[in-house]
């Protein structure tokens, strides 16, 4: 079983050690080379960020290098610190569960295409729905990312816990994919709320890592923070959860 998450803008240090370089490191270097020609004004225009944040982003761009992306570097899964990753809380997992997470969680990335949890990466800021030059990143990664996704999921089911922006970036034909929806219910009406959906994806990923021996049946047992399974749609391929 493989789990797909979206990358997060917020990144930070980690004690988790990488096992290898990213699959598409040369492509990432090519994209980063384009960004390295920018000044702080261009960064601010591209990201719509304040002067201080733009300078921080420029510092990340300037510091990025290929040499740091080797076995023994900082693992990708520990560096992302957004809502989903906060709930995943991989740093606090027991060693054997943490090892499973590092080896089986995949992360969609605008810069790296598709990451394994134990890939070595450096902090960056680039979303899948952005363009570098005239190249849209979804288009750039479509063929390569999809091929790699099929390769790593060749004999395993894929649980899609990524946002639409990232989940739809890859052609998943030929992969045994299961979708998961999280809804907030107020006065009998369903509503998808971004922050809660992100948190729920992280909670689900953590749950599946803790119960990996149960395989796909672990999906049905998810009940964290008030969520409950209410439906299996699309021929059993979509698990729908609600909470009030």
Q: What is the pLDDT of residue 135?
A: 86
Q: Is the pTM of this model over 0.85?
A: yes
Report the interhelical angle of 51-63 vs 40-47 (nearest 10°). 110
The Cα 115–Cα 241 span in angstroms is 27
Give the chain's residues under pLDDT 50. Answer: none
Q: What is the pLDDT of residues 44-75, one digit of tens each?
A: 999 999 999 999 999 999 999 999 999 999 99
Sequence-distant contacts of 224-232: CB under 8 A, at least 24 apart? 224/200, 225/199, 225/200, 227/182, 227/200, 227/203
pLDDT at 188: 87
pLDDT confidence of residue 134: 87
What tokens were used for 140? 């750039």
Question: Does residue 176 contact residue 158 with C-beta atoms inside 8 Å?
Answer: yes
pLDDT for res 124? 97
The pLDDT score that the predictor gives to residue 166 is: 93
Residue 100 belongs to what H/E stretch?
helix 95-104
What does the alpha-carbon distance between residue 171 and residue 138 come to, in Å, rounded to a whole number? 11
Cα angle, residue 241 at apex, residues 179 and 82 outer, rounded to 5° = 70
Beta bridge partners of 76: none
């Amino acid at each position: 079983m493989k789990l797909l998450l979206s990358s997060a803008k917020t990144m930070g240090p980690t004690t988790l050690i990488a096992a290898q370089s990213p699959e598409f490191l040369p492509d990432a270097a090519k994209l980063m080379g384009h960004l390295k020609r920018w000044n702080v004004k261009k960064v601010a225009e591209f990201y719509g960020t304040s002067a201080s944040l733009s300078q921080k982003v420029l510092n990340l761009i300037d510091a990025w290098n290929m040499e740091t992306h080797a076995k023994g570097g900082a693992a990708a899964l520990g560096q992302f610190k957004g809502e989903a990753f906060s709930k995943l809380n991989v740093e606090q997992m027991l060693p054997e569960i943490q090892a499973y997470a590092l080896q089986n969680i995949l992360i969609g990335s605008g810069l790296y295409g598709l990451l394994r949890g134990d890939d070595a990466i450096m902090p960056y800021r680039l979303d899948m729905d952005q363009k570098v030059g005239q190249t849209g990143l979804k288009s750039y990664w479509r063929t390569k990312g999809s091929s790699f996704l099929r390769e790593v999921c060749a004999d395993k089911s894929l649980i899609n816990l990524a946002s639409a922006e990232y989940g739809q970036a890859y052609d998943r034909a030929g992969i045994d994919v299961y979708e998961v929806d999280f809804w907030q219910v107020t006065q009998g009406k369903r509503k998808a709320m971004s922050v809660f959906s992100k948190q729920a994806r992280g909670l689900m990923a953590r749950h599946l890592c803790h119960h990996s021996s149960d395989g796909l049946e672990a999906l049905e047992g998810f009940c964290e923070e008030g969520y409950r399974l209410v439906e299996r749609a699309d021929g059993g391929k979509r698990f729908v959860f609600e909470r009030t």
